[in-house]
A and B are shown apart, each in its own frame.
Chain A
Amino acid sequence: EAGVAQSPRYKIIEKRQSVAFWCNPISGHATLYWYQQILGQGPKLLIQFQNNGVVDDSQLPKDRFSAERLKGVDSTLKIQPAKLEDSAVYLCASSPSGAGYNSPLHFGNGTRLTVT
């Protein structure tokens, strides 16, 4: 099966600019996650979707971050305006439907964001 697709792989922007990341999960996976991984740390959940509904966005900095999954398939994560501390790898992951918090995650290759 095809894996989780993410683009772009790398992005360099200046602070206060905006940026968007795209993710296409594994076919048939209803649950989609966006994680932020700062260098040397474990992935931190930003938002979780079940189909096109938000399950958990409690750790998403909503003043600058937004995410959508309009048709319950692919998703975009946006940052506007970016800050220096947003420099990180943004990982998208998916898991089969109905699995809640017990299902293993399939990660994409991630987007490495550098904010200067």
Chain B
Amino acid sequence: GQQVMQIPQYQHVQEGEDFTTYCNSSTTLSNIQWYKQRPGGHPVFLIQLVKSGEVKKQKRLTFQFGEAKKNSSLHITATQTTDVGTYFCAGPPSGSRLTFGEGTQLTVNP
């Protein structure tokens, strides 16, 4: 079936290091959304990318949508302890339901 894959599943970094998570779909996505879920919390919407090759920034976070609209990445520069959580990508493959990836769990050692 249609899937949205994320790698890595886990990432442990030292505070100040950079972090990147990757999202790949088996089919073209009309848009890609990114969410952050803190431990014990609920997913919170971060950003939505719609255009092929789109790049958006939010302070230390950089989001990219691939040219083929099948992959995306989230990059965090100089991680802080407040960045701890699980980052999910989600996309609707070819007009289907919004499908979430399995998430990348980020831990930051102070």
Contacts and interface: CB of A to CB of B under 8 A. Distances in A.
Interface residues of A, number: 20
B82 interface: no
A21 to B, nearest CB: 14
B65 to A, nearest CB: 13
B98 A45 contact: yes
A6 to B, nearest CB: 9
Interface of A: 40-45, 48, 56, 58-59, 91, 101-102, 104-110
Given A42-B88, A42-B102, A42-B103, A101 B45 contact: no
Residue picked from B6, B45, B98, most chain A C-beta under 10 Å: B98
Interface string B31-57: 101010000011111001010000000
Interface in B7-44: 30-31, 33, 35, 41-44
Contacts of B98: 45, 101, 105
Contacts of A58: 97
B92 A91 contact: no
B110 interface: no
B97 A45 contact: yes
B88 A101 contact: no
**Chain B at the A interface: mostly helix, strand, loop or mixed?**
loop
B51 to A, nearest CB: 13
B6 to A, nearest CB: 8
A102 B43 contact: no
Given A42-B88, A102-B30, A102-B31, A56 B42 contact: no
Given A41-B102, A45-B98, A104 B43 contact: no
B90 to A, nearest CB: 8
Given A42-B101, A42-B103, A43-B100, A101 B95 contact: yes
